[in-house]
Structure 1
Amino acid sequence: MSEMDSEALEFGLYHREILNSALRESTAPLARLGLNPALMNVLNAIAGCPGASGALIAETNDTSQQAAARSLAHLISRGLVRRTVGERATFSHHLTPEGEAKLFAGLTIVARQNRDLLSVLSERELDEYLRLTRKLHSVRARRSVEEVARLTWAADTDSESGGRE
């Protein structure tokens, strides 16, 4: 196996374990709110794009339209999301005030857990981690080279200064 392959496998192993442990740790606190990570993702997608269609929510969360539709139906039935009919019989989705409150409560739980995890990093390490995470996210989101460069401080030229956007 080449050096690149072993590095890629090591990255995948650590990255998945961090994400899986975060999901495991958030399940019980979110359940106390009547939420789970999938429902949080849908609420978050709608908050980020009010009026989003079910298809856009599915795409944003990298899930099937059927799974997004099930989550939306659940959230609508609980009064956390409002669905309206738009042009050409398309549906748009908006958070209700109750949905905004649930999302905020859920994000508070997740932020607390992230802060606990990130507390082992120095300020410089945290800046570097966030810079690299933004860059990898931009690549996965298929952003343009210019956008990736902007989000990573002009192609890493400012990384030594530790400055943020």
Structure 2
Amino acid sequence: MKKTNVVKLLTFLSHAYAQRMKFPLKGQKQTEMMVEVWHEFLERYEDRLILTAAKKLAVNNSDWPPSVGAIVKEAEDIVTPAEDKITGDEAWKLVLKAVRKYGYYKPDEGMNSLPEKVQEAVKNFGGFRAICHSKANSSYVRKQFVEIYDSIAERYRKYNYLPESVKENLKKLNDDCDQNYLE
């Protein structure tokens, strides 16, 4: 989204939430700063997507104007494929289906049949064979897996909300920490 369209978006929100959001702000510097901050978070998105997300939020939450973060979350939700929105229970059902189909003797095929986040949850659980050995109908096993999966899915969601510049900084910081740890 270009800065000129960020200004249009903020103007739209100002009109949609007449008494709750003021734009432009009183001072030129304040207005420029607001546009700059919103642009940093929205620049990687298409104008149509952001406007759709803002309109959806305006309809579903008409009391208060959305923050830039709420608009980013709504935009990400719009573009996220259905397979990436599966719940922990749905992920568990996929794992059980793979266990029934591939069993203990074909763990690689079983893992490859699962979506990426589900594979990560299976690995964190102890691996495909560990699930094969567990009591699949046990509510405790299911609960543990769902908690692991939900944690992974939440981490992915939060990471996807971040602007590219923040993702790059996090990667650099992580690499620096890893390097310092090895020294």
Bin for the TM-score computed over the shorter chain: under 0.3
Which entry has the higher C-alpha Rg, 1 or 2? 2
**TM-score between both structures, scaled by the size of structure 1:** 0.28
More strand per residue: 1 or 2? 1
